[in-house]
């Protein structure tokens, strides 16, 4: 009875992205806030007669978009959008504030071993100003510029992390893959029945635009992902499926 009834929806779709080339699951996106499917097309007309009326209509340019808005994020989601390469190491600059122990050859110990040639030391009162001369051995920084005992200094250095790190490397040659997308949610009928609803996007191409926002007030940052819907090799674009339990 319910499958032929009028119905409405107030729930988001959970989505499974399957690599179009390998047919292997790539990402289970079950944390979106909004999923919107839009079908597009173009109408052209043949005209004729007085007043230039439309006589014959032609349809074409079939396609669409699948738009996803989510506040929850993952490294896999960033990789899906950007097409970037996943790496297990990262290099970045760190800043440390330390108190010197002496006056002639002040010795300072860093928390990590810096990459050779990347250590820069400044007096805290002249941060990023005139550099203080030093030598470096492993984690030990020895100032060769005399400073007063108890002087606070700032040390910038680059370190490499190779444990428990995931880095997405995005190059000018990085492009997203195509995916088959399977979505599921529920529709509610006028008879108060909940009917399972499924969608299948046969060839979805993520647009490679991404905005990452970080703020100390307001709502949590969100990401909007737009996928262009294309036809697969059998001309399928989208299936909308309603199930009766």
pLDDT tens digit string along 178-212? 999 999 999 999 989 999 999 999 999 999 988 88
At residue 56, the pLDDT reads 96
Question: Considering only CA atoms, which of 110, 125, 103, 106 is closest in space to residue 156?
Answer: 110
At residue 107, the pLDDT reads 85
At residue 181, the pLDDT reads 98
Query: Which residues make Cβ contacts (< 8 Å) with residue 12, sequence separation at least 6?
Result: 32, 33, 34, 35, 185
| Mean model confidence pLDDT for the chain | 92
pLDDT exceeds cutoff 70 at 15: yes
Q: Work out whether strand 223-229 and strand 107-109 pair parallel, antiparallel, or are unpaired.
A: unpaired
E strand segments, the chain:
7-8, 14-19, 25-29, 34-47, 54-70, 85-87, 90-99, 107-109, 120-123, 131-132, 134-137, 140-143, 152-161, 167-169, 179-189, 194-206, 223-229, 238-242
At residue 100, the pLDDT reads 76
| Structure tokens that stand for 125 in this block | 């009162």
Does residue 208 contact residue 176 with C-beta atoms inside 8 Å?
yes
At residue 18, the pLDDT reads 98
pLDDT tens digit string along 98-121? 877 665 568 888 999 999 999 999
At residue 99, the pLDDT reads 76
126 three-class SS: helix
At residue 68, the pLDDT reads 97
DSSP 80: H
pLDDT exceeds cutoff 70 at 2: no
User: Which of 53-62, 143-152, 168-177, 225-234 is predicted least confidently?
Assistant: 143-152
At residue 40, the pLDDT reads 93
Query: Would you list the domain boundaries of the chain?
Result: 2-85+194-242, 90-161
Left (φ > 0), alpha (ψ -120 to 50) or beta: where does 138 sit?
A: left
Domain at 90-161: CATH code: 2.60.40.10
CA 100 to chain centre: 42
pLDDT exceeds cutoff 60 at 135: yes
At residue 35, the pLDDT reads 96
| Structure tokens that stand for 23 in this block | 């047919």
At residue 102, the pLDDT reads 62
Q: What is the mean pLDDT of residues 212-230?
A: 92
Q: What is the mean pLDDT of residues 29-56?
A: 95
Does residue 9 contact residue 195 with C-beta atoms inside 8 Å?
no
Does residue 120 contact residue 129 with C-beta atoms inside 8 Å?
no
């Amino acid at each position: 009875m319910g499958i032929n009834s009028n119905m409405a929806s107030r729930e988001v779709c959970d989505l499974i992205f399957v690599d179009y080339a390998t047919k292997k699951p790539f990402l289970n996106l079950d944390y979106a806030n909004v999923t919107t499917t839009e079908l597009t097309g173009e109408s052209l007309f043949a005209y004729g007669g007085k007043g230039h009326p439309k006589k014959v209509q032609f349809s074409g340019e079939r396609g669409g978009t699948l738009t996803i808005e989510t506040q929850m994020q993952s490294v896999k989601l960033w990789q899906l959008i950007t097409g970037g390469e996943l790496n297990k190491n990262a290099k970045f600059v760190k800043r440390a504030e330390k108190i010197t122990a002496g006056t002639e050859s002040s010795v300072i110990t860093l928390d990590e071993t810096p990459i050779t040639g990347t250590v820069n030391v400044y007096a805290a009162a002249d941060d990023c100003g005139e550099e203080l001369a030093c030598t470096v051995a492993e984690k030990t920084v020895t100032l060769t510029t005399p400073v007063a005992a108890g002087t606070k200094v700032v040390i910038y250095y680059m370190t490499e992390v190779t444990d428990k790190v995931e880095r997405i490397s995005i190059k000018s040659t990085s492009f997203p893959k195509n995916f088959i997308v399977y979505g599921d949610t529920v529709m509610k009928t006028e008879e108060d029945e909940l009917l399972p609803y499924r969608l299948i996007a046969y060839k979805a191409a993520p647009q490679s635009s991404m905005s990452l926002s970080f703020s100390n007030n307001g709502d949590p940052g969100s990401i909007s992902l737009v996928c262009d819907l294309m036809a697969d090799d059998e001309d399928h674009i989208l299936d909308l499926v309603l199930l009766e339990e």
